C-alpha cells in the first residue's frame, strides 16, 4: 500500500487512547484483515539486459555511454551492459569463435571486423538482419560496407563505422619544392625521392610492411589499382601479369630507397609515428591518424594533407575497406532487444555522435554533407571520394585462411625472398589447394 494510505489507517489508533482491551483488539485486527484482503502488489518487472561486446574505445567513453543511456531511455525495460574486448582484432576473433562455437548466450550484440561477417554467417552464428536493412535503408550506405556484411544475398550485420586506406603527405614540403599530390604510384616514387634528397633525415614513403593483415591491405591496393586482384569470378586469380607488375613496383620502393628497409617491421602505429615526428614525406594509413596529426603538440600539426591513394597509369585508385559492423548472436536470449540496439547504434544520429567524439567515419552518405562534421573534420570531403571506391577484401567464409597464405607470400615478395612471380604462383597454388 502507498505511504499516504498507511498513514490514514494508523491515525484512528492514536485518537482512541481510552479504548478497552477488546476494543483495542478489534482495532488492531482491522489493518491485518485489510492487508489479508488486499491483493499483493505485482512483482517488479525485471529489465531485459542486452550485453554488447566490442573492442576497446580509444578516448573518453562519455559520448559512447551517453548513446547507450539514450537508447535505454527510448526503450524502457531494456538495459545495455557494455563489455570491452582486447584491442587486438585477432584476440577478439578468437574470443568470438570459441564462444559462438559453444553456442554461448552470454552476449547478444557483437562488433565484427569487416572480414568476419561471411565466416560467422556461414557458421550459423549470426541472425539474418534483413528486416533492419530494407532496400531504401540499404541505399543510405556506401556500397563497400553493404557488400561486406552480405552473405548469400542476406545481410548478417549493419555497418557501424568504416575505414579505408588513404595517403597522407607533407603539404608544406610539397609546396616548398613545387610538387602537387601524386596521382600515380610512379609519380609518388619520383616526388618522394626528390624531396628526400633535399631534406636531411627524411624518408620518402612509409607504410605497413610487416607480415600481418595490414600487409595484405596494402598489397591489395597496389594489385587493384593496376587492374588486378585476388579473386576473379569466385576463382583465386593471383598469378597474373597485372599483379606481378604491381608487386614488382612495391619491391622497387625498397630497393630504390624510396621506402626504408625497416618498413618490413612496421604496423599502423609505428608507421604513423615515423610520419608524425616529421620523418617521412608520404604515409599510407587509415583515417584515424588525421586527428592525431592535428592535435596540440604534434610535430606535423597544420602540415599534413590527405589524398586518395595513387594508381598505376591508365587505372583507377582503390582503397582497402576496413571498419566495424554490428551483428546479433544467433544464440541471444533477447534477439528483438538486441536488434533494436543494433538499429539505434547504426542510425544516422548515433554515427554522427561517434564521428564527432572519436573521429569514427560513418558509412552513411548523407553525413558527408553535414556542416558541423565538415567543420571539425574537413578531410571528410576527401574521404567521401575514398569511401565511394573502397573495396572489401575477398568476401569469403575462408578469408582467415586465405589471408594467412597472402601474408606469407606478399611478405616474401616485398622482402626479396621470392620474385613477385614466384610468390604469386605459390599463393595461387596453395589457396586453390587449401580453400574449398
* Helical (H) or strand (E) element with 101: helix 89-101
User: pLDDT-derived band of residue 232, with 50, 70 and 90 as boundaries?
Assistant: confident
Over residues 291-296, the mean pLDDT reads 91
172 and 294 both lie in a single domain: yes
Domain annotation covers residue 111: yes
User: pLDDT-derived band of residue 45, with 50, 70 and 90 as boundaries?
Assistant: low
Q: What is the pTM of this model?
A: 0.82
- Taking Cα atoms as reference points, which of 373, 237, 383 lies closest to residue 307? 383
Domain annotation covers residue 362: yes
194 and 298 both lie in a single domain: yes
Which CATH number belongs to the domain containing residue 88 in this structure?
Answer: 3.40.190.10
Q: Is the pLDDT of residue 307 over 60?
A: yes
213 and 136 both lie in a single domain: no
204 and 347 both lie in a single domain: no
Domain coverage including residue 399: 166-320+394-434
118 and 193 both lie in a single domain: no
How far is it, in rounded angstroms, from Cα 217 to Cα 167? Answer: 13
193 and 282 both lie in a single domain: yes
How far is it, in rounded angstroms, from Cα 396 to Cα 117? Answer: 9
113 and 136 both lie in a single domain: yes
228 and 293 both lie in a single domain: yes
Domain annotation covers residue 90: yes
Q: Is the pLDDT of residue 10 over 70?
A: no
| Cell representation of residue 260 | 626504408
Q: Is the pLDDT of residue 304 over 60?
A: yes
301 close to 295: Cβ distance less than 8 angstroms? yes
427 and 297 both lie in a single domain: yes
369 and 308 both lie in a single domain: no
59 and 128 both lie in a single domain: yes
Domain annotation covers residue 25: no
Domain annotation covers residue 266: yes
143 and 214 both lie in a single domain: no
**Mean pLDDT of the residues in the chain:** 89
Last residue of a domain, one of 374, 391, 408: 391
Domain annotation covers residue 112: yes
> Which residues does 396 contact at the CB level (< 8 Å), separation at least 6?
118, 119, 231, 402, 435
Domain annotation covers residue 12: no
How far is it, in rounded angstroms, from Cα 67 to Cα 402? Answer: 37
How far is it, in rounded angstroms, from Cα 122 to Cα 243? Answer: 30
In angstroms, what CA-CA distances link 121 with 133, 180, 394? 16, 45, 15
Q: How many domains does the chain have?
A: 2
Domain annotation covers residue 85: yes
Helix axes 241-255, 213-224, angle to 10 degrees: 120
For residue range 310-365, list pLDDT tens digits in order: 999 999 999 999 999 999 999 999 999 999 999 999 999 999 999 998 888 999 99
Amino acid at each position: 500500500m502507498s505511504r499516504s494510505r498507511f498513514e490514514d489507517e494508523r491515525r484512528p489508533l492514536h485518537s482512541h487512547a481510552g479504548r478497552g482491551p477488546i476494543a483495542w483488539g478489534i482495532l488492531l485486527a482491522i489493518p491485518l484483515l485489510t492487508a489479508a484482503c488486499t491483493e499483493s502488489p505485482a512483482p517488479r518487472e525485471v529489465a531485459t539486459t542486452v550485453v554488447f561486446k566490442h573492442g576497446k574505445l580509444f578516448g573518453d567513453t562519455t559520448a559512447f555511454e551517453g548513446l547507450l543511456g539514450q537508447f535505454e531511455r527510448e526503450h524502457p525495460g531494456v538495459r545495455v551492459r557494455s563489455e570491452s574486448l582486447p584491442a587486438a582484432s585477432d584476440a577478439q576473433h578468437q574470443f568470438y569463435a570459441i564462444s559462438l562455437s559453444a553456442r554461448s548466450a552470454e552476449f547478444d550484440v557483437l562488433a565484427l571486423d569487416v572480414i568476419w561477417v561471411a565466416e560467422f554467417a556461414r557458421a550459423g552464428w549470426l541472425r539474418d538482419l534483413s528486416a533492419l536493412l530494407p532496400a531504401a535503408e540499404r541505399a543510405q550506405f556506401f556500397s563497400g560496407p553493404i557488400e561486406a556484411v552480405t552473405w548469400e544475398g542476406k545481410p548478417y550485420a549493419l555497418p557501424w563505422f568504416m575505414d579505408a586506406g588513404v595517403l597522407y603527405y607533407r603539404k608544406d614540403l610539397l609546396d616548398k619544392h613545387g610538387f602537387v599530390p601524386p596521382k600515380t604510384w610512379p609519380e609518388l616514387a619520383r616526388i618522394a625521392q626528390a624531396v628526400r634528397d633535399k631534406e636531411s633525415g627524411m624518408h620518402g614513403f612509409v607504410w605497413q610492411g610487416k607480415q600481418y593483415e595490414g600487409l595484405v591491405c596494402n598489397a591489395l591496393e597496389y594489385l587493384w589499382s593496376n587492374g588486378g586482384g585476388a579473386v576473379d569470378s569466385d576463382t583465386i586469380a593471383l598469378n597474373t601479369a597485372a599483379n606481378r607488375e604491381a608487386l614488382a613496383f612495391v619491391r622497387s620502393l625498397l630497393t630504390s630507397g624510396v621506402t626504408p628497409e625497416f618498413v618490413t617491421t612496421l604496423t599502423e602505429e609505428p608507421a604513423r609515428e615515423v610520419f608524425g615526428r616529421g620523418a617521412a614525406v608520404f604515409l599510407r594509413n587509415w583515417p584515424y591518424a588525421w586527428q592525431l596529426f592535428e592535435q596540440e603538440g604534434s610535430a606535423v600539426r597544420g602540415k599534413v594533407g590527405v589524398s586518395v591513394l595513387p594508381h598505376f597509369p591508365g587505372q583507377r585508385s582503390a582503397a582497402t575497406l576496413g571498419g566495424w559492423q554490428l551483428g546479433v548472436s544467433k544464440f541471444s536470449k533477447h534477439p528483438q532487444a538486441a536488434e533494436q540496439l543494433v538499429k539505434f547504434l547504426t542510425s544516422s544520429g548515433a554515427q554522427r555522435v561517434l564521428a564527432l567524439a572519436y573521429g569514427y567515419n560513418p558509412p552513411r552518405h548523407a553525413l558527408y554533407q553535414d556542416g558541423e562534421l565538415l567543420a571539425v573534420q574537413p578531410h571528410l570531403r576527401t574521404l567521401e571520394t575514398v569511401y565511394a571506391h573502397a573495396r572489401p577484401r575477398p568476401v569469403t567464409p575462408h578469408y582467415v585462411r586465405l589471408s594467412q597464405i597472402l601474408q606469407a607470400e606478399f611478405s616474401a615478395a616485398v622482402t626479396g625472398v621470392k620474385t613477385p612471380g614466384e610468390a604469386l604462383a605459390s599463393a595461387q597454388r596453395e589457396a586453390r589447394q587449401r580453400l574449398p
